Structure 1
Amino acid sequence: MSSQFVTGTDRENMKERKHTLMMDIKALCKGNVLLANSFPVFVGFWLALHFSEADFKAHVDTFFFTMIGSLLVMAGALVMNNWYDTDIDTIMKRTQHRPTVTGNISLPVVLTIGMMLSALGIVFLLFTTWETVLFAIVGWFTYVVLYTMWSKRRYTLNTVIGSISGAVSPLIGWSAVESSMQTVPLILALIIFIWQMPHSLAIAIRKHDDYQQAGVAMLPVVHGMAITKRQMVVYTACLFPLPLYLIDLGLAFVVVACLLSLGYLVIAIYGFFAKDDIQWARIMFLVSVNYLMFIFVMAAIFTFI
Structure 2
Amino acid sequence: MSRQIITSSTINQTDIAADNENEVSLMADLKSLFKLPVLIANAVPVFTGFWLAVYFTEASFTANAGLFLLTLIGSTLVMAGALVLNNWYEADIDKVMDRTKKRPTVTGNISMRTVMWIGSSASVLGFLMLAFTRFEAVIYALIGWVTYVIFYTMLTKRRYTLNTVIGSISGAVTPLIGWAALVPATHVMPYVLALIIFIWQMPHTFAIAIRKYDDYKAANVAMLPVVYGMDITKRQMVVYIACLVPLPFLLFPLGTAFVVIATVLNMAYLALAFSGMFTTENRKWADKMFMVSVNYLMIILAVAIIVTSPWLN
TM-score range, shorter chain: over 0.9
Q: Please name the residue that 2:247 is paired with.
A: 242
1:68 maps to what in 2? 73
1:103 matched residue in structure 2: 108
- Is residue 2:118 matched to residue 1:113? yes
Residue in structure 1 matched with residue 179 of structure 2 by the alignment: 174
- Aligned residue for 2:158? 153
Q: Which has the larger radius of gyration?
A: 2
Report percent identity of matched pairs.
Answer: 59
Aligned pair in 2 of structure 1 residues 228, 5: CA closer, same or farther (>3 Å)?
Answer: closer
Counterpart of 1:42 in structure 2 is: 47
**Is 1:262 the counterpart of 2:267 in the alignment?**
yes
Q: What aligned pairs does 1:81-92 form with structure 2 within 5 A after superposition?
A: 81-92=86-97
Q: Does 1:122 align with 2:123?
A: no
Quote the Cα distance in structure 1 between the aligned partners of 2:265 and 2:226.
29
User: What is the TM-score with the length of structure 2 in the denominator?
Assistant: 0.95
Deviations 1:99-137 (A, max 9, x none): 000000011110011000000000110110000000111
Residue 180 of structure 1 deviates from its aligned partner by 1.4
SS in 1 for 2:222: coil
Displacement of 1:61 in angstroms is 1.1
* Paired AA for residue 64 in structure 1: L
2: distance between equivalents of 1:61 and 1:293?
Answer: 25
Q: Any stretches of 5+ residues in structure 2 without a counterpart?
A: 1-7
Aligned length: 303
CA distance in 1, matches of 2:112, 2:219: 19
> Which residue pairs with 2:218 in the alignment?
213
Q: Deviations over 1:236-279 (max 9, x none)?
A: 00000000000000011101101100110010000011130110
For residues 214 and 58 of structure 1, what CA distance do their matches in structure 2 show? 50
Local SS of the residue matching 1:79 = helix
Q: TM-score with structure 1 length normalisation? A: 0.98
Q: In structure 2, what is the Cα distance between the partners aligned to 1:172 and 1:181?
A: 13
Runs of 4+, deviation exceeding 2 Å: 3-6
The runs of 5 or more residues in structure 1 that have no matched partner are none
Match of 2:231 among 226, 230, 251: 226
- Taking only aligned residues, the RMSD between alpha carbons, in angstroms, comes to 1.2
Matched, 1:162 2:195: no
Shift of 1:57: 1.8
Offset, 1:75: 0.4
Deviations along 1:24-59, one digit per CA (max 9) or x if unpaired, are: 111000001000100010011001000000011211
